[in-house]
Each structure stands twice: as structure tokens, then as C-alpha cells.
């Protein structure tokens, strides 16, 4: 019984970071063909058509993070989470770093 409880606790601790992550969505200015995976801001972004998605260990969108992402995925028309997206001015600033 103790072994089962120990394994269950250890498994839940490994899954914790995924629970704390927030889904971020970036709408691309130039759509990609098919489905692509790109690493940006230390996570894998999955891009299909004009949408790229990733789970980040943060709650809010910032221009700093957006700039790091667009260096790898290209210019965006929007960036953020369901609750927090960057303004048009912030997007313009972000896209200065685009590839």
C-alpha cells in the first residue's frame, strides 16, 4: 500500500508543471503550410495555418516574451492568452524582432 501511495504522489509532482501552464496563442501574419513545430521561449510551439499555440509557465503576455517568440515563428497579428492579449501598439513593438 505504501508503495502505491508513494508512486501516486511522485506522479502528481511530475504533472504539476503542466497544470501551472497557461495556453498562449499567436496569430501569424503569414500562415504556414501544413503543421509545423518550432521551439521558441524554451517551449515547443505548434503552428497550423495562421495559429501557433504553446503552454508557458506564466499567466500574462508581455512584449518581451512576444519578441522572443516572433524571432522564431515570424510576425504576429495577435499574441496572448484567453484572458490577456497584447495591445496593437505592443504587437507593433513585438514584431520589430520578427525573423
pLDDT 10s digits, 46-99: 999 999 999 999 999 999 999 999 999 999 999 999 999 999 999 999 999 997
pTM of the model: 0.78
The number of domains in the chain is 1
Strands of the 76-80 sheet, one edge to the other = 35-40, 43-48, 51-56, 22-28, 76-80
- Secondary structure of residue 81 in the 3-state scheme: coil
Domain membership flag for residue 53: yes
Domain membership flag for residue 31: yes
Where is pLDDT greater, at 21 or 20?
A: 21
Domain membership flag for residue 2: no
Q: Which residue has the cell 490577456?
A: 84
Domain membership flag for residue 24: yes
Residue 6 scores a pLDDT above 50: no
Domain membership flag for residue 74: yes
Domain membership flag for residue 14: no
Domain membership flag for residue 10: no
Alpha carbons 6 and 28: distance in angstroms, whole number: 45
Alpha carbons 6 and 70: distance in angstroms, whole number: 42
Average the pLDDT over 30-56 and give the result. 96
Domain membership flag for residue 3: no
Which residue segment(s) compose the domain that 60 sits in?
20-95
Handedness of CA 87, 67, 44, 49 (dihedral sign): positive
pLDDT of amino acid 20: 66
Alpha carbons 44 and 83: distance in angstroms, whole number: 21
Amino acid at each position: 500500500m505504501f508503495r502505491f501511495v508513494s508512486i501516486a504522489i511522485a506522479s502528481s509532482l511530475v504533472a504539476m508543471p503542466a497544470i501551472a501552464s497557461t495556453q498562449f496563442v499567436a496569430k501569424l501574419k503569414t500562415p504556414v503550410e501544413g503543421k509545423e513545430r518550432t521551439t521558441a521561449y524554451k517551449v515547443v510551439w505548434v503552428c497550423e495555418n495562421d495559429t501557433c499555440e504553446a503552454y508557458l509557465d506564466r499567466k500574462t503576455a508581455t512584449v518581451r516574451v512576444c519578441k522572443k517568440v516572433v524571432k522564431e515563428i515570424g510576425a504576429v497579428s495577435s499574441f496572448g492568452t484567453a484572458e490577456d492579449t497584447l495591445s496593437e501598439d505592443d504587437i507593433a513593438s513585438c514584431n520589430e524582432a520578427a525573423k
